[in-house]
Structure 1
Amino acid sequence: MSIELWTWNTPNGRKISVALEEMGLPYTVRPVDITQGAQFDPEFLAFSPNNRIPAIRDPNGPDGAPITVFESGAILVYLGAKTGMFWPADLRRQVPVLEWLMWQMGGFGPMPGQVHHFLQVADEQDRRYGLARYSKETRRLYGVADRRLAQVEFFAGEISIADFAIVGWVWRHERHQVDLAEFPHVRRWYEAMMARPGTRRGFEVALS
């Protein structure tokens, strides 16, 4: 039986489809139409209590029994630990993976997400204020990523689940009103990621 991926076509959803493709795990997509409020359906809330996508249901959990996991970062750690892929066994090597995964979860996701929101706000004053605030922080975060990638090929040194987390958001750089030409190391990394067959399939699979 394959993993069920409950998701929608968003950066957070794409993180998991990319990881599943890169890891070669069989999965089926269960679309959760967040534009129609499907994230509030009781069946979904039963294992994703924060009513956010993505979530997974794995019929072959660690002890052979089914398990559900919500929150994209937790899902990535689970899948990495399950397969032993893109998740180092050594604690020291895990640390940078977790650092950059948490960097994405805590900043490089929420901040660009606010840019997405304020671009659609009707009130001009509110829109200007929101974009001034969150675009500045989003660009700062791109700068953090660019400086890191000037030193290493991938965020944790070697390719890891942290890259899968981050690529879902860089995928939306145009919606962030960010030109990757201004962040050449991010652009180099992004192009390398998108050239990977597994990552490419993760973006091509229909999630909605």
Structure 2
Amino acid sequence: MLSDFPITKRWPAADPSVIQLYSLATPNGIKVAAMLEETGLGYEAHKVSFADADQMTPEFLSLNPNNKIPAIIDPHGPDGKAIGLWESGAILIYLAEKTGTLLPSDPVKRAHSLQWLMWQMGGAGPMFGQFGFFFKMGGAAFEDKRPLARYTDEAIRLLGVMDAQLAANEFIAGDAYSIADIALWPWINVLTGFYGAGEHLQVARYPHIQRWLHAALARPASQAALTVPS
């Protein structure tokens, strides 16, 4: 039951029968919102405000001790029991398996999708995030520009890896849109969007990424996810 989760006392559920999403419209938050929109699962989004340090409250930490968004509670988890989850990649896999969508059943294609999901989780996401800190946010004021140079170089390297993959494939893991694409497009989008780093990273040099990103953003689920939670 949802009432077993202390987080619901701070963010009460209007509809306890649907998935509860605790998030913010950052790249990692957008991932899970996009997946929920793609699957058509009912969900209710609760805003976790960084400005108010919501992620550090006892209620939020009771669900995610790592104090990061997003997190979910599915009231209809395995064996019909409610389950709480955090880490965006784990949530994407869980929702894909729950609905039988956006993760191939073929073992080889499934492995390739998970491979690129892990690439995003362990490489592209953390490196792009560090780049954004030193280019756009607090780190931009640092006199020592070596950190920015380091993460700029790594971001460019990763973009090159991704563009080469997309030169030979319609989607990042092959011929079908999957959770690997959902994990990646919000991070590519933030580089030229909120970070305003398109020129700095010379993103125009990567035509295959541009083609892929345009297609991902054109999906109705993607457009909806950009504003979740409202």
TM-score with structure 1 setting the length: 0.94
Name which one, 1 or 2, has greater alpha-carbon Rg: 2
- Count matched residues: 206
- 2:104 aligned counterpart, secondary structure: coil
Where does residue 132 of structure 1 map in the other structure? 149
Where does residue 69 of structure 1 map in the other structure? 85
- Higher relative contact order (Cα pairs below 8 Å, separated by 6+ residues): 1
- The alignment status of 1:182 with 2:205, answered yes or no, reads yes
- The alignment status of 1:28 with 2:44, answered yes or no, reads yes
Give the superposition deviation at 1:123: 4.4
Where does residue 122 of structure 2 map in the other structure? 106
- Mapped to 2, the partners of 1:105 and 1:24 lie a distance apart of 24
- 1:141 aligned counterpart, secondary structure: helix
Residue pairs, 1:88-99, within 5 angstroms: 88-99=104-115
Give the superposition deviation at 1:171: 1.2
TM-score with structure 2 setting the length: 0.86
Where does residue 59 of structure 1 map in the other structure? 75
Report the identity percentage: 46
8 Å contact from structure 2 (residues 30, 228) kept in 1: no
- Structure 1: gaps spanning 5 or more residues: none
Where does residue 182 of structure 2 map in the other structure? 164
- 1:109 aligned counterpart, secondary structure: helix
8 Å contact from structure 2 (residues 217, 223) kept in 1: yes
- The alignment status of 1:206 with 2:228, answered yes or no, reads yes
8 Å contact from structure 2 (residues 37, 224) kept in 1: yes
- Mapped to 1, the partners of 2:98 and 2:196 lie a distance apart of 33
8 Å contact from structure 1 (residues 135, 176) kept in 2: no
- Structure 2: gaps spanning 5 or more residues: 1-16
Where does residue 14 of structure 1 map in the other structure? 30
Give the superposition deviation at 1:182: 1.1
Give the superposition deviation at 1:122: 5.7
Give the superposition deviation at 1:124: 4.0
- Mapped to 2, the partners of 1:168 and 1:53 lie a distance apart of 14
- Mapped to 2, the partners of 1:199 and 1:73 lie a distance apart of 17
- The alignment status of 1:191 with 2:205, answered yes or no, reads no
Where does residue 131 of structure 2 map in the other structure? 115
Give the letter aligned to residue 182 of structure 1.
Answer: R
List per-residue Cα deviations over 1:44-94 (Å, max 9, x = no partner): 111211111001000010211100110000000000000000012232221
Given candidates 148, 151, 176, the residue that maps to 2:168 is: 151
Give the superposed CA RMSD: 1.4
- Mapped to 1, the partners of 2:50 and 2:64 lie a distance apart of 13
8 Å contact from structure 1 (residues 6, 53) kept in 2: yes
Give the superposition deviation at 1:110: 0.7
Over 3 Å counting, the alpha-carbon distance change for 1:12 and 1:23 in structure 2 is same
Give the superposition deviation at 1:33: 0.8
- Mapped to 2, the partners of 1:33 and 1:194 lie a distance apart of 25
Give the letter aligned to residue 68 of structure 1.
Answer: G
Give the letter aligned to residue 177 of structure 2.
Answer: I
Give the letter aligned to residue 186 of structure 1.
Answer: I
- 2:80 aligned counterpart, secondary structure: coil
8 Å contact from structure 1 (residues 32, 39) kept in 2: yes
- 1:50 aligned counterpart, secondary structure: coil
- 2:76 aligned counterpart, secondary structure: coil
- Deviant stretches of 4+, over 4 Å: none
